[in-house]
A and B are shown apart, each in its own frame.
Chain A
Amino acid sequence: MIDTTCTIAGILFKNPVVMASGTFGFGREYAKLYDINKLGGISGKGLTLKPREGNSGIRVWETAAGMMNSVGLENPGIPRFLSEEAPYWEDLNLVRIVNLGGGTLADYTEGAAMLDEDAKKRAAAGHPAVDMIELNISCPNVKAGGMAYGIQTETAREVVRLVRSATDLPLIVKLSPNAEDIVSMAVMCQEEGADGVSLVNTFSAMKIDIRKRRSVFNNLYAGLSGPAIKPIALRMVHQVCKHVTIPVMGMGGISSVEDIVEFIMAGAETVQVGTHNFVSLRAGEELVQGLEAFMRSEGIRSLGEIRGIL
């Protein structure tokens, strides 16, 4: 029997394959293509207290083995998520993570409190919809805040502390590779009582249209993801894993079973898969099956045997 399970804050993941925020909607679209309950978990589209329209102009640009996006946190807002999407999540059999973003400190705390209150109601009714909050302090596409909180450890500390005190839900913090010191950021999250960290978000990047002599993005910079960033992401995950005891969700360009194994060997408890969902719409199913097959062929009975061996 192959054991692919993972645990964060006492929450059991069937396997380490978690779909990354912003690449998987709230799961409905992919559920038409395969049974998403086979996944370890999903982190839903990043939510803010109020709905956001996102950025205007071009939102995606391909680059060598990668893509840049400038969606700008377009989302329906937490209240609409709770009324329209959470009922769908109630029926899912996988770890359901809300990705919480914000522009101001008040947005973050009010958003976290609203999620917390709703989670308690649904739990009391026996129909929980949200298992965990992933705090996004690192979205690079929002001018009003987002990025600013994700760069300096002491600025981020304030957000993490406030959100931590606003909810009893398990809390993981999603870190930006653009942080001044990603290790100190992760250590801070542990100090402030986060149950885990996830990293890395996209790298702040740029593309210039040389004919028009301007950035192709209205927001100037955009977030780079995909296989191009994997080696750097892996190094950062490895460094962070060496310095914290809370679980790490590793991500950044994961496109294969081998990539997943690398992140786990670097110390990650689970991984997150983002851009690869666009490369193969059935990536989740393929990776879950592929990981089991790999473990069987390598004689690995549980992920604990290989986790953090480097």
Chain B
Amino acid sequence: MTTASILDNTRISSDVYLMTVSTGKGGSPGQFYMLRQWNQSPLLSRPISIFDAQGDSVKFLYQIVGEGTKRLAGLRKGETIDIEGPFGNGFPQVSGRIAIVGGGIGIAPFYYALRTMPEADVYLGFSREPYLVDEFRKLTDNVTVDVGGYILDKVDFASYDKVLVCGPNPMMKAAQRKNEAAGGAGKVFVSLENRMACGIGACLVCSVKSGSSRKKACADGPVFAVEEVVFDD
């Protein structure tokens, strides 16, 4: 296990936190780390995407959804955390007209992504209170925000060369339907957040159906061209 110290862990909204961890391992936008600060219960580490990485620190934006993230939220500056990573493929290098579309905690990988592609248009959707919108606005003027509706409705896929999407599964399925309607391949990319155990491609619990085969969300992804993914249900 690799231990790192927590430089900051700040509450951003009612159940969303931003943690800064001291590590020089960096990573690229869309990659994630496996975090844990517990022994046997919960048992597994939590895959959390990189919110930002600069110099000797990496930031993680996370929402309390269960026991693990609750424990993470309780950690204080100066405490240590076990981290492994960065893992996963990250977003592809893209050019042209780019839309970045984040839904809820799905905005997490896009701050760092936007720093590497500041010309992108940003769409942020929230079901209730928005958060970190001002931080995105410091990087670009082109930030569109929706609260309580469907952020995807505000994105005209036809006017972009690439669309990067991260959000709840129904939102990514909707992005797939929009992409099919527009007939594009290799245009829309989604970042999946399947349940994981190892995070490195060995255990196959995060498996994604892709055409007639299976891919690993952790190692082949988490970013996939949306037409590659067969969503469950």
Chain A residues close to B by CB (< 8 Å): 22-25, 29-30, 32-33, 45, 53-54, 56-62, 64-67, 69, 71, 74, 226-227, 255, 275, 277-282, 286
Contact = CB atoms under 8 A, between A and B. Distances in A.
Interface stretch (B158-166, B175-183, B197-205): B197-205
Contacts of B36: 279
A56 B213 CA distance: 12
Contacts of A25: 201-203
A59 B44 CA distance: 14
B40 A71 contact: no
Contacts of B232: 56-57
A62 B202 contact: no
Nearest to B213: A53
Contacts of A71: 203-205, 207
B95 interface: no
Contacts of B199: 281
Given A23-B203, A277-B202, 17 more contacts: A22-B203, A23-B202, A24-B202, A29-B198, A29-B202, A29-B219, A53-B213, A60-B196, A66-B43, A71-B207, A226-B43, A227-B40, A275-B197, A279-B43, A281-B200, A282-B1, A286-B1
B40 A30 contact: no
Given A67-B197, A227-B40, A53 B203 contact: no
Interface string B197-233: 1111111111101000110000100000000000010
Given A22-B203, A54-B207, A278 B44 contact: yes
30 contacts: A22-B203, A23-B198, A24-B202, A29-B219, A33-B200, A45-B202, A45-B204, A53-B213, A53-B214, A57-B232, A58-B195, A59-B204, A59-B205, A60-B44, A60-B196, A62-B44, A62-B67, A64-B41, A74-B207, A226-B40, A227-B40, A275-B43, A277-B202, A278-B43, A278-B45, A278-B203, A279-B36, A279-B40, A279-B43, A281-B34
A255 B203 contact: no
Interface in B44-64: 44-45
A43 to B, nearest CB: 12
Contacts of A29: 198, 200-202, 219
A279 B203 contact: no
Nearest to A26: B202
A278 B87 CA distance: 14
Given A64-B41, A67-B43, A226-B40, A59 B202 contact: no
B149 interface: no
A54 B214 CA distance: 9
Contacts of B67: 62
Contacts of A45: 202, 204
B42 interface: yes
A117 to B, nearest CB: 27
A308 to B, nearest CB: 27
Contacts of B84: 33, 281
Nearest to B198: A278
B95 to A, nearest CB: 30
B157 to A, nearest CB: 28
A50 to B, nearest CB: 14
Contacts of B200: 29-30, 32-33, 281
Contacts of A59: 195, 204-207
Given A23-B202, A54-B214, A74-B214, A65 B197 contact: no
Contacts of B34: 281
Nearest to A56: B232
Nearest to B66: A62
Task: Give the interface centre of A57, A59, A275 by most chain B CB atoms within 10 Å.
Answer: A59
A25 to B, nearest CB: 4
Contact of A60 (B45, B197, B209): B197
Contacts of B40: 65, 226-227, 255, 279
Contact of B204 (A54, A61, A281): A54
Of A56, A255, A282, the most chain B CB neighbours within 10 A belong to: A56
A74 B205 CA distance: 10
A67 B198 contact: no
Interface centre among A23, A24, A279, A282, by most B CB within 10 Å?
A279
Given A56-B232, A65-B40, A227-B43, A281 B198 contact: yes
A54 B196 CA distance: 16
A60 B198 CA distance: 11
A277 B43 contact: no
B104 to A, nearest CB: 20
Contacts of A286: 1
Contacts of A32: 200
B33 to A, nearest CB: 12
A-B residue pairs, 7 tightest by C-beta = A25-B202, A60-B205, A59-B205, A29-B200, A278-B197, A65-B40, A29-B202
Interface string B52-88: 0000000000000001000000000000001010000
